[in-house]
Amino acid sequence: MTTSHPLDPLTAEEISAVRGLIVASAEYDELERGGRFITIELRSPAKAALIDRIDRLERGERPPELPREADVVLLDRADASTHEITIALDGPHLLEWRRLEGLQPLAVVEELAEAEELVKRDPAFQAALAKRGVTDFDAVQIDAWPPGNFGDPSEEDGRLARCVAFIQPRPGDSEWAHPVDGLIALVDLTRLEVLRIDDHGVVPIPAESGNFDVEAAIADAGALRDDIKPLEITQPEGPSFEVDGRVVRWQNWELHVGFTPREGLVLNEVAYRDRGVRRSIIHRASLSEMVVPYGDPGPTHYFKNAFDAGENGVGIAASSLTLGCDCLGEIRYLDATVSNGNGDPVPIPNAICIHEEDVGVLWRHIEWRTGEGEVRRARRLVISSFSAIGNYDYGFFWYLHQDGTISFEVKLTGVLSTGAVAPGETPAHGVLVAPGLNAMVHQHYFNLRLDLDVDGTENSVVEVSTRSTPPGPGNPHGNAFEVERRPLSTEREGRRRVDAASARWWEIVNPRRRHRLGAPVGYRLVPGENARPFAQPDSPVMRRAGFIGDHLWVTPYEPRERYAAGEYPNQHPGGAGLPEWTEADRPIADTDLVVWYTFGHHHVPRPEDWPVMPVATIGFQLRPVGFFTRNPALDVPPPVAACHEPRSAEGGVSENE
């Protein structure tokens, strides 16, 4: 018997009920060619109601049932208009149906497949392929990219995709090794028409295989490695966490694991039970947007800047995880359910993997005089999922640590996006990874929406920088440095950038709750790897992805402000989301606030990233600062009876001396 939670994602039955209600409605009847279902997801109950529910549970009261509702995005198949529909699941009945003008939701897989068939069978596209020596059109794979928005008046209407071709010599081969450069088809996804074919001239298609299966590895290295002995992770008494429905409890931590079609993994109601008292830290944390701007101006590449969340759906693209492959050890899985273009539920079994990992030493000190000391081993709770979007694979990993730290990491792997260059040519905006094969420079940006509620909803953000103390009487030896704390009081002040020179970080504090030593309790957002964008500030991509112009953004909590590049980035001319909202310059001090952290992985490809990339990681940490009175992990027991006993007792050192 598992417990249900008001933030549990919609079940397959609920998705079917929502679909059934919409298809039977009078509003749907008016759609000339029916609708394409883009997303069907839970509409979150109001934040105040969720907090009230927790408070009541803490007091031992029975909380009231919260209404269960669904949000649907539907595309009119006749005129490509977008419709937002809200459904109450008790009944069920229709609450609201809104038609939007000029906004395009993410593209679903059915549309990508239709575009592929259309372009592959297009006589003009086939003629252009034939000019390149390609006549087996079954070996052609078409990649439909979100078109972006470059202000071209002929691209203002309709629902579009830019399609590029790859050749798959044999079924199962990696097509990414064989890009057809210089040839693009602009497609109308609703009317299913090829609007335009741009042929910028023949570039030889790279021939070398980019396969990375076992057969390819043996062909490359002669054999597979034979010196890997079994490494088994066993927890004979089971894992130390418990999963109740989608609520996870582990080592004082409690949280709910959600999932949405657009964001994928969502952490809800993350709290730490501190000596029996539940202390809130995060109300909701999710990947709000991604964008991958490419730095090659060529005709087949300049438009590549996919917003993988808002234009594709990170949750829709989630894969099932398998034991021993994606996750190792004592695993507990959670399933996800998304929907297809027809509105039918699509289960993703084992979409989320939960397990414990040993991560080395938690803390340690050995006295040099005696050789005695204390050591504790660290473990962390891992909650993760993987999404495969086109050529790339992204792993999204949340970690809870025993010292109160929460960290997030993206694992980037999969296959590089490629183009071709003429033999002997060196690409100016990329790197050769195989003969004639260009891996273009690019960046991967992620924005995490962090609705932090540190010990309550009213929080403030302080920027903490370190500077050298000016030489003089206060710094006679020149060694001094000091920490500067700068409160961020309005949204425009809250747009900040990382700065290695001042070792900058930000602290989210609760000014109403003080540590015993006087300072407000808080959590420190510690940046990891990061980068500035290199696209021009007034370029189409920077207008559309304004959230990558700064690394930190702070807004007052507003439930409709969910995604860093706005609700509908697909084909959007730009300006939406964080840049637009923060222009209001609302106050952000001592209020219910949301922190949005943007971080970018700067990817100048290496030959070693080919034919499949070893994982690169990027992320950040949220570390308690004055949240606890002292090291909260003192109570972790020693891993064995004694790690470092006096030297004599170890039976060696003293006697031999």
- Active centre residues (catalytic): 308, 392
| Cα separation, 379 vs 377, whole angstroms | 7
Question: DSSP code of 311?
Answer: I
Q: How far is the CB of 292 from Cu ion (least distance, A)?
A: 7
Q: How far is the CB of 603 from Cu ion (least distance, A)?
A: 3
Q: How far is the CB of 295 from Cu ion (least distance, A)?
A: 11
| Cα separation, 76 vs 87, whole angstroms | 18
Closest by CA position to 358, among listed 380, 375, 374, 376: 380
Residue linked to tokens 């398998």: 322
- The region of 160-168, 453-461, 507-515, 596-604 touching Cu ion under the rule CB under 5 A is 596-604
Contact pattern for Cu ion over residues 601 through 640, marking x by CB under 5 A: --x-------------------------------------
Q: How far is the CB of 415 from Cu ion (least distance, A)?
A: 10
Q: How far is the CB of 444 from Cu ion (least distance, A)?
A: 5
Three-state secondary-structure class, residue 27: helix
Closest by CA position to 349, among listed 372, 330, 326, 378: 326
Query: Please, which residue, 377 or 601, has the CB nearer to Cu ion?
Result: 601
| Cα separation, 384 vs 333, whole angstroms | 10
Q: Count Cβ atoms below 10 Å from residue 75 Cβ, excluding itself.
A: 26
Q: Which helix (H) or strand (E) holds 376?
A: strand 373-389
DSSP β-bridge partners for residue 469: none
CA angle in degrees (0–180, nearest 5) for 403-404-405: 95
Query: Please, which residue, 82 or 447, has the CB nearer to Cu ion?
Result: 447
Query: Please, which residue, 504 or 603, has the CB nearer to Cu ion?
Result: 603
Site residue total, Cu ion (CB under 5 A): 1
| Cα separation, 528 vs 618, whole angstroms | 7
Residue linked to tokens 């006679």: 476
Q: How far is the CB of 442 from Cu ion (least distance, A)?
A: 6
List C-alpha distances in Å: 116 to 137, 308, 512.
Answer: 11, 19, 57
The amino acid at residue 52 is D
- The region of 269-277, 370-378, 382-390, 598-606 touching Cu ion under the rule CB under 5 A is 598-606
Q: How far is the CB of 393 from Cu ion (least distance, A)?
A: 11
- Token pair of 440 as six digits: 């273009």
Query: Please, which residue, 544 or 603, has the CB nearer to Cu ion?
Result: 603
Query: Please, which residue, 279 or 603, has the CB nearer to Cu ion?
Result: 603
Query: Please, which residue, 379 or 603, has the CB nearer to Cu ion?
Result: 603
| Cα separation, 205 vs 421, whole angstroms | 8
Q: Count Cβ atoms below 10 Å from residue 621 Cβ, excluding itself.
A: 18
- The region of 137-145, 227-235, 262-270, 597-605 touching Cu ion under the rule CB under 5 A is 597-605
Q: How far is the CB of 392 from Cu ion (least distance, A)?
A: 7
Question: 267: which residues sit within 8 A by CB, 6+ positions away?
Answer: 255, 256, 257, 258, 282, 284, 285, 286, 383, 398
Residue nearest to Cu ion (CB): 603
Query: Please, which residue, 338 or 415, has the CB nearer to Cu ion?
Result: 415
- Token pair of 89 as six digits: 């699941």
Query: Please, which residue, 159 or 603, has the CB nearer to Cu ion?
Result: 603
| Cα separation, 237 vs 393, whole angstroms | 34
- Cβ-contact 158, 80 below 8 angstroms: yes
By CB under 5 A, is residue 562 in contact with Cu ion?
no
First to last CA, the chain: 63
- Token pair of 495 as six digits: 């747009």
Q: How far is the CB of 613 from Cu ion (least distance, A)?
A: 7
Q: How far is the CB of 410 from Cu ion (least distance, A)?
A: 11
Closest by CA position to 428, among listed 600, 184, 604, 610: 604
Backbone angles phi, psi at 12, to 5 degrees: -60, -40
What's the half-sphere exposure (Cβ side, CA atoms, 13 Å) at 99? 10
Query: Please, which residue, 83 or 603, has the CB nearer to Cu ion?
Result: 603
- Cβ-contact 142, 120 below 8 angstroms: yes
| Cα separation, 79 vs 77, whole angstroms | 6
Query: Please, which residue, 380 or 603, has the CB nearer to Cu ion?
Result: 603
- Token pair of 362 as six digits: 């938690």
| Cα separation, 485 vs 463, whole angstroms | 6
- The residues binding Cu ion (CB under 5 A) are 603
